[in-house]
Amino acid sequence: MKNRVLFIDRDGTILVEPPEDFQVDSLEKLEFVVGAISGMKSLAELDYELVLASNQDGLGTDAFPEETFWPAHTKMLRTLAGEGVFFDDQLIDPTFPQENAPTRKPQTGMFGKYLSGDYDMSQSYVIGDRATDVELAYNLGAKAILLQPVAVGEKMLEGKPFAESCVLITPRWSDVAEYLRRTERSAEINRVTSETAIQVKLDLDGAGESSISTGLNFFDHMLWQLPHHAGVSLKLECKGDLHVDEHHTIEDVAIVLGEAIYQALGSKRGIDRYGFVLPMDECRAMVLIDFGGRADFVWDVPFTRERVGDVPTEMFKHFFKSMCVAMRCNLHIEARGENNHHLIEGVFKAFARALKMAVRRDVFKYDLPSSKGVL
């Protein structure tokens, strides 16, 4: 899974920008934006690399000697470090605006490392206080968060071709932290083979609408148990070779859906990890799940019919086994009942509830749920 990045501006975003000369060139001028420290502390707990990205006009020239820059900058870094906030990288451009240097934001000359293909720019963000920060996000293929009052921000972006890259305008760091915590556990996968073409967009915290279409009506009915009972949002479309049979469609949906769940979980910090016994009419379904990083699968669900709706019952075991491997989890499923429709629907509902339980996250406790220190 590719790393995601938060590119964070400095002056006007983390530090108050002095209105007289726009330079934080002394310790006396060092002042944090309200909420920046606590907001940055929240971001440091998320599954992103933190990168400082700042234009410092004329740094190293007589207009802005380096010896006046580093004391305040170093104190800022030490203050943040005291709260557990460390930058993985610092990108500082020292040129003047009139030089039109390719390294100066919003140009991307400083960001070559992050455009190499090793990072997921579509799930990365630029956080800043200027329209040029939004333009930088647009140029990087990332999203932008503009730290301004809404009316001011909307005016800044009015008529700008890059405005669509801005997903949030707010003057409050607390809103930034809340937004990123709410949206970070998502994944989007497009997978095309000679047998199927599948698009999956998943949000574990249920932000957004759901839609499901696989070409198999009963399979769709079962998959709908996930948004209904796991509290996730799921957009899933599969176009498979159903003229051959159902196997490729069901198997490949399991692989892509399992991979999406795995990606959306990210670092797994703060999750409950384990999760469900559920009755449905005359049936009982038990699903045990452990996102511990090791795949093992146990299935004990006896069917008495070859098909339920338009799906062969033998494919349900294959579906959950394929998804188990893709999720890198332990998955035990057992069910008993008389009606085969109730039996498998109980399994899907129990799986959805087990998933909801296991991925539930305590936003105030971001420990890794493992005595080994790794999952």
- Look up residue 53 and give its two tokens: 């990205």
Set 11, 57, 93, 203: catalytic member: 11
pLDDT at 357: 87
What pTM was estimated for this model as a whole?
0.65
Dihedral sign for Cα 261, 262, 263, 269, please. Answer: positive
Tally of CB atoms within 10 A around 32: 16
pLDDT at 358: 86
Give me the amino acid identity at 236. Answer: L
What integer is the mean pLDDT of 187-191? 93
In this structure, what are the phi and psi dihedrals at residue 46, rounded to the nearest 5 degrees? -90, 175
Q: How confident is the model at residue 275 (pLDDT cuts 50, 70, 90)?
A: low
Answer yes or no: is pLDDT of 249 > 70. Answer: yes
Q: Which of 238-242, 274-278, 283-287 has the lowest mean pLDDT?
A: 274-278
Residue 272 falls in the annotated catalytic set: no
C-alpha separations of 66 from 22, 89, 94 in Å: 15, 19, 10
Which domains does the chain show, CATH number per domain?
5-183 (3.40.50.1000), 186-359 (3.30.230.40)
Q: How confident is the model at residue 291 (pLDDT cuts 50, 70, 90)?
A: confident
pLDDT at 283: 86
Q: How far apart are the first and last CA of the chain?
A: 15
pLDDT in tens, 205-240: 876 789 999 999 999 999 999 999 999 999 999 999
C-alpha separations of 302 from 140, 331, 337, 340, 342 in Å: 52, 17, 9, 9, 12
Percent of the chain having pLDDT more than 70?
A: 91
pLDDT at 371: 47
pLDDT at 327: 94
Residue 11 falls in the annotated catalytic set: yes
What integer is the mean pLDDT of 54-62? 95
pLDDT in tens, 295-315: 999 999 999 999 999 999 999
What's the mean per-residue pLDDT of the chain?
91
What integer is the mean pLDDT of 280-306? 90
Give me the amino acid identity at 76. Answer: M
What integer is the mean pLDDT of 57-61? 95
Q: How confident is the model at residue 370 (pLDDT cuts 50, 70, 90)?
A: very low
Answer yes or no: is pLDDT of 372 > 60. Answer: no
Set 9, 93, 133, 220: catalytic member: 9
Tally of CB atoms within 10 A around 24: 24
pLDDT at 142: 97
Please give the radius of gyration of the chain, using alpha carbons only, rounded to the nearest integer: 25
Answer yes or no: is pLDDT of 368 > 50. Answer: no
On the CB side of 103, CA atoms within 13 Å amount to: 12
Answer yes or no: is pLDDT of 104 > 70. Answer: yes
- Look up residue 229 and give its two tokens: 């009972």
pLDDT at 57: 95
What integer is the mean pLDDT of 169-186? 87
